[in-house]
Amino acid sequence: MSRFDPNFTDNVINSMGPRTSPRFRQLMTGLIRHVHDYARENELTVDEWMAGVQMLNWAGRMSDDKRNEGQLMCDVIGLESLVDEITFTLASEATDAPTATAILGPFFRADTPFRANGDSIVRTPPAAGDGQMAFMHGRVVDCQTKKPLVGATVEVWQACTNGLYEQQDPAQEEFNLRGKFRTDQDGRYSFYCLRPTPYPVPDDGPAGKLLQMMDRHPFRPAHIHIIATYDNYKPLTTQIFDSKDKYLTNDSVFAVKDSLVVDFLPRANDPQAGLELQYDVKLVPAPAE
């Protein structure tokens, strides 16, 4: 790389002052080095760099309370899933196998209401003929002792069969296909939901443009989002994926892990649902402070 000023990158890094926090200094040093190496290795042109800046500005302009396009751009290049893997690897190096994690995604809502076990999260039915009802149930347990965790919170959300989450779709009742559940005295939770269906990530912004330029499809395999929490245990954010889905091996945001693939089985004698999914969540104790 000696065609270019060999001191330039060090000069930029060394311009950081003494009051920079050690972790921020580390993160900026690595960022500056990688960004500069990237530009030199690829002889990035002014036009190419400016096209990238315009994509980032576009992402920011599209983002609001209901949409995080910057996050979605990271997702389609695998960064959120990678950061999730790093977090999970570090957390599990010290413990037995807890449930694997997966990315939060941009459609989480902090204000989802509690519902009773056995209730349905399907508040607005899908269009006639669309969707299969499923009964999802299981236990929340300590990943080491397997003891059930009583009063743990299980929060779930899923897209409707039209590929839209409720906040993207005015036709869906607020909090449709979302709910929080508290485990009973046996550590059990249960609810009715839809068998999830694949959907494309929003492709009308820069993330969609990026996918198109990379000649990639925008689809995510069918999945249900789960967050499980319990006092003195590490909160778990994950997704479970339908084993029958055609996009299982080429998720547009790279979130699938083998241990998160589940089978929907036929369910007999339940007028509310023809399918059943049994799924236990294993939480890892939080280290004492």
Q: Which is nearer to a second copy, 85 or 166 (CB)?
A: 85
Q: Does 83 bind a second copy (CB under 8 A)?
A: yes
Q: Which is nearer to a second copy, 81 or 183 (CB)?
A: 81
The two tokens of residue 147 are 């003891």
Please report, as residue ranges, which positions from 225 to 254 form the binding site for a second copy (by CB under 8 A). Answer: 250, 254
Please report, as residue ranges, which positions from 100 to 129 form the binding site for a second copy (by CB under 8 A). Answer: 104
Distance in Å, CB of 177 to a second copy, minimum? 24
Q: Which is nearer to a second copy, 53 or 288 (CB)?
A: 53
Distance in Å, CB of 21 to a second copy, minimum? 7
Judge whether 215 and 199 are in contact, CB under 8 Å: no
- CA–CA gap between residue 72 and residue 207 (Å, rounded): 6
Distance in Å, CB of 14 to a second copy, minimum? 10
Distance in Å, CB of 128 to a second copy, minimum? 35
Q: Which is nearer to a second copy, 37 or 263 (CB)?
A: 37
Count residues contacting a second copy (CB under 8 A)? Answer: 75
| Unique residue bearing structure tokens 């997702």 | 75
Distance in Å, CB of 241 to a second copy, minimum? 16
Q: Which is nearer to a second copy, 230 or 254 (CB)?
A: 254
Please report, as residue ranges, which positions from 7 to 66 form the binding site for a second copy (by CB under 8 A). Answer: 8-9, 11-12, 15-21, 24-28, 30-32, 34-46, 48-50, 53-54, 56-63
User: Running DSSP on this structure, what letter comes out for residue 151?
Assistant: T
Q: Does 70 bind a second copy (CB under 8 A)?
A: yes
User: Running DSSP on this structure, what letter comes out for residue 286?
Assistant: P
Q: Does 95 bind a second copy (CB under 8 A)?
A: no
Judge whether 221 and 251 are in contact, CB under 8 Å: yes
Burial of 22 (0-12, 13-18, 19+ CB in 10 A): exposed
Among 6, 85, 142, 267, binds a second copy (CB under 8 A): 85
User: Running DSSP on this structure, what letter comes out for residue 166?
Assistant: G
Please report, as residue ranges, which positions from 196 to 225 form the binding site for a second copy (by CB under 8 A). Answer: 210, 213-216
- Number of other residues whose CB lies within 10 A of the CB of residue 229: 17
Distance in Å, CB of 68 to a second copy, minimum? 7
Distance in Å, CB of 288 to a second copy, minimum? 20
* Amino acid identity at 78: G
Dihedral sign for Cα atoms in the order 37, 42, 46, 51: negative
Among 6, 22, 66, 68, binds a second copy (CB under 8 A): 68
Plot region of 195 (φ>0 → left; ψ -120 to 50 → alpha; else → beta): beta
Strands 219-220 and 199-200: antiparallel
Distance in Å, CB of 58 to a second copy, minimum? 7
Strands 281-283 and 133-142: parallel
User: Running DSSP on this structure, what letter comes out for residue 155?
Assistant: E
